[in-house]
Amino acid sequence: MTYLPVVLWTDALVFVLLAAGAVLAWAIRRQEHLRAPWRSVAQRPMAMGAALVLGVFVVIGLLDSLHYRERLPDSAPGNPQYSVEVLSVFDALLGALRTQKEKTYSAPLAMQLYAKEFIERDGERVRDYPRLQYGGAHLAHPDERLPDIARRVLRGVVEGLAAGLIAFGLVAAWDARRRRVALAAWLAGWRHGTLGWPARTVVVVLALLAVLGATLVQLAAGYHVLGTDKVGQDVLYISLKSIRTGLVIGTLTTLVTLPLAIGLGIAAGYFRGWVDDVIQYVYTVLNSIPGVLLIAAAVLIVQVYIESNPELFDTAAARADIRLLALCLIMGVTSWTGLARLLRGETLKLRTLDYVEAARAFGVSHARILGRHIFPNVFHLVLIAIVLDFSGLVLAEAVLSYVGVGVDPSMYSWGNMINGARLELAREPIVWWQLVAAFVFMFTLVLAANLFADGVRDAFDPRQQGRR
């Protein structure tokens, strides 16, 4: 066996979450009152477009969560030794992007380093921009660079369009078959937007994604598309690897938040009396402590623990991972109060409704009333809160890492990228690409998440029902 699968803590939780999501989706399919709002989400062009973009991010994040260690080539067959470096399936797909390291900074699509150095040329020491080891290495002369880039972009666009066309054909064939209509009729419906789902948006977004992806692939084969960082690492690679960190923070934190928020919020609203007093006291206190302070303290404690118990973590990745998990936990513990307060208020209203009284008149137990009458009726609030909080958490990670209390410095994350770019902003000429790359990736993810959240909120908000 040449690979040793590695399951990090966050990997396990991400896949648990995926399974839970699948079970939830299956349950929702069977409940008409839950399925109807999702169907209405699927009919919104904006939400569907955003969902596709989110989907790309999620797929990258999931691929990046399948970790393994390679066997060292010179280890004995009976006693296999594995590399200390933990890789993921996504690394394998990216291929050379990870290993093609330059010496230091280089601008996007450059073929020379960003700083002058003394180099040997024709046996003479001159001070000039040295050629990159990988970026543009196939070019003989700097004048060939722009035509080469143009050629690659063109080829990427053509390939992307072709892929988009194929995707369009597949969608058309699948949907026409499902509806049992002729392909021509389907195409007419597609053109007029009368299919009942935003097929035009889906096809256009798919095509755009394909064009973008193919162009990037073409360019990345010969250049560092987004330049390189201080140690010569490809910035595109770092940005892509950061996706997983952002997603993990956004989703696992919610996983920590939900039981606290749902359990305590509903209990406070339903039982009233001293239960309510205690829970309100707890979240008022928690809310009045500055969150960053609490997070900084907790992260430091975890850091000390990791360093004093090195035998528990066999790789650097495991160490970074446990710190990421700790960050999710502490952010979850500090961010459940808003949702809990919302659920408490809603429960206060629901508990006085006649159907809860009727259940009490039958002597139904509290647990059953909470499970059958209260929770299903606040579930839409929970869903809305999950999707709305996601983008906030992704941004919070960036801020915390920038301050230095976020994820491990060795971990790829947008916060760390921004932190690394901070000092170089003062440099002349300015090193801007790290910051811009982090910004563009984060912006795309958060915008897509927010647009999708808008769609979900509109569909589940009872006050919006009449306007649809």
Partner 1 sequence: MMKPLLQVEGLVTEIGGARVVDDVSFHIAVGETYALLGESGSGKSMTALSLMRLLPEGGRLAAGSIVLGGTDVRALPERAMRDVRGGGMAMIFQEPMLALNPVVTVGRQIVEVLARHRGLAGRPARDAARALLDAVGVPDAERRLDSYPFELSGGLRQRAMIAMALAGEPKLLIADEPTTALDVTIQAQVLDVLRRLKAARQMGMLLITHDLGVVAGNADRVGVMYAGELVEEGVRDAFFASPQHPYSRMLFEALPRSGDGGRLTTIPGQVPPLDAVFTGCRFAPRCPYAQDRCRTESPGWQTLGGQRVRCHFAGSLPVAAARGAGAARAVKAAAPLLAVDDLKVHFPIRRGLIQRTVGHVRAVDGVSFAIAAGRTLALVGESGCGKTTVGKALLHLIEPSAGAVTLAGETITSANLGSLRRQAQMVFQDPFGSLNPRMRVADILLEGMDALGVGVPGERRAAVARLLAQVGLPDDAGSRYPHAFSGGQRQRIAIARALAVSPRLVICDEPTSALDVSVQAQILNLLRDLQDALGLAYLFITHNLAVVEYLAHEVAVMYLGRIVEHGSASDVLRAPRHPYTQALVSAVPRIEPGTGVGVIRLAGDQPSPLNPPTGCHFHPRCAHASAVCRETYPDKTELGDGHWARCHWVAAQTN
Q: Residue 241 or 373: which CB sits closer to partner 1?
A: 373
**Is residue 33 close enough to count as binding partner 1 by CB under 8 A?**
yes
Instruction: Please check whether residue 9 is in contact with residue 71, taking contact to mean a CB–CB distance below 8 angstroms.
Output: no
Say whether 84 sits in a helix, a strand or coil.
Answer: strand
**Is residue 467 close enough to count as binding partner 1 by CB under 8 A?**
yes
**Is residue 358 close enough to count as binding partner 1 by CB under 8 A?**
yes
Which residue type occupies 369?
I
Q: Residue 81 or 365: which CB sits closer to partner 1?
A: 365
Residue 265 beta carbon to partner 1: minimum distance, rounded to whole angstroms = 18
- Helix (H) or strand (E) holding 86, with range, is strand 82-88
Residue selected from 85, 128, 307, 357 as contacting partner 1 according to rule CB under 8 A:
357
**Is residue 355 close enough to count as binding partner 1 by CB under 8 A?**
yes
Helices (H), 370-413: 375-403
**Is residue 363 close enough to count as binding partner 1 by CB under 8 A?**
yes
Q: Residue 214 or 382: which CB sits closer to partner 1?
A: 382
Residue 31 beta carbon to partner 1: minimum distance, rounded to whole angstroms = 8
Q: Which stretch binds partner 1 (CB under 8 A): 114-122, 213-221, 321-329, 358-366?
A: 358-366
Residue 357 beta carbon to partner 1: minimum distance, rounded to whole angstroms = 6
Q: How many helices (H) and strands (E) does the chain have?
A: 17, 5
Residue 345 beta carbon to partner 1: minimum distance, rounded to whole angstroms = 18
Q: Which stretch binds partner 1 (CB under 8 A): 132-140, 335-343, 356-364, 384-392?
A: 356-364
Q: What DSSP line would sit under 130-165, residue for residue?
A: PBPSSTTTT-SSGGGHHHHHHHHHHHHHHHHHHHHH
Q: Residue 262 or 394: which CB sits closer to partner 1?
A: 262
**Is residue 272 close enough to count as binding partner 1 by CB under 8 A?**
no
Q: Residue 182 or 358: which CB sits closer to partner 1?
A: 358
What are the residues whose beta carbons fall under 8 Å from the beta carbon of 270, sequence distance 6 or more? 347, 351, 366, 369, 370, 374
Residue 278 beta carbon to partner 1: minimum distance, rounded to whole angstroms = 16
Q: Residue 34 or 298: which CB sits closer to partner 1?
A: 34
Instruction: Please check whether residue 416 is in contact with residue 5, taking contact to mean a CB–CB distance below 8 angstroms.
Output: no
Residue 270 beta carbon to partner 1: minimum distance, rounded to whole angstroms = 15
**Is residue 362 close enough to count as binding partner 1 by CB under 8 A?**
yes
Q: Residue 26 or 274: which CB sits closer to partner 1?
A: 274
Residue 333 beta carbon to partner 1: minimum distance, rounded to whole angstroms = 30
Q: What DSSP line would sit under 295-319, residue for residue?
A: HHHHHHHHHHHHHH-GGG--SHHHH
**Is residue 349 close enough to count as binding partner 1 by CB under 8 A?**
no
Residue selected from 59, 115, 183, 353 as contacting partner 1 according to rule CB under 8 A:
353
Residue selected from 359, 439, 450, 461 as contacting partner 1 according to rule CB under 8 A:
359
Instruction: Please check whether residue 85 is in contact with residue 68, taking contact to mean a CB–CB distance below 8 angstroms.
Output: no
Which residue type occupies 314?
D
Q: Which stretch binds partner 1 (CB under 8 A): 159-167, 314-322, 361-369, 440-448?
A: 361-369
Q: How many residues bind partner 1 (CB under 8 A)?
A: 21
Q: Is 169 exposed, middle or buried (0-12, 13-18, 19+ CB in 10 A)?
A: exposed
Question: How far, CA to CA in Å, does 446 sit from each of 50, 197, 246?
Answer: 10, 24, 10
Residue selected from 140, 184, 361, 367 as contacting partner 1 according to rule CB under 8 A:
361
**Is residue 354 close enough to count as binding partner 1 by CB under 8 A?**
yes
d(CA 393, CA 404): 16
Residue 364 beta carbon to partner 1: minimum distance, rounded to whole angstroms = 4
Q: Residue 1 or 361: which CB sits closer to partner 1?
A: 361
Say whether 111 sits in a helix, a strand or coil.
Answer: coil
Residue selected from 271, 360, 392, 461 as contacting partner 1 according to rule CB under 8 A:
360
Which residue type occupies 457?
R
Q: Which of residues 204-233 bind partner 1 (CB under 8 A)?
A: none
Helices (H), 73-131: 89-94
**Is residue 32 close enough to count as binding partner 1 by CB under 8 A?**
yes
- Strand ranges across the sheet with 3-6: 3-6, 67-71, 82-88
Q: What is the chain's Cα-based Rg?
A: 26
**Is residue 463 close enough to count as binding partner 1 by CB under 8 A?**
no
Q: Residue 155 or 360: which CB sits closer to partner 1?
A: 360
Question: How far, CA to CA in Å, does 287 sit from each of 115, 260, 267, 269, 275?
Answer: 49, 14, 19, 18, 18
Q: Backbone phi, then psi, for 133, in 5-degree steps?
A: -75, -40
**Is residue 365 close enough to count as binding partner 1 by CB under 8 A?**
yes
Question: Which residues would be at the binding site for partner 1 (CB under 8 A)?
Answer: 31-33, 353-355, 357-365, 368, 372-373, 376-377, 467
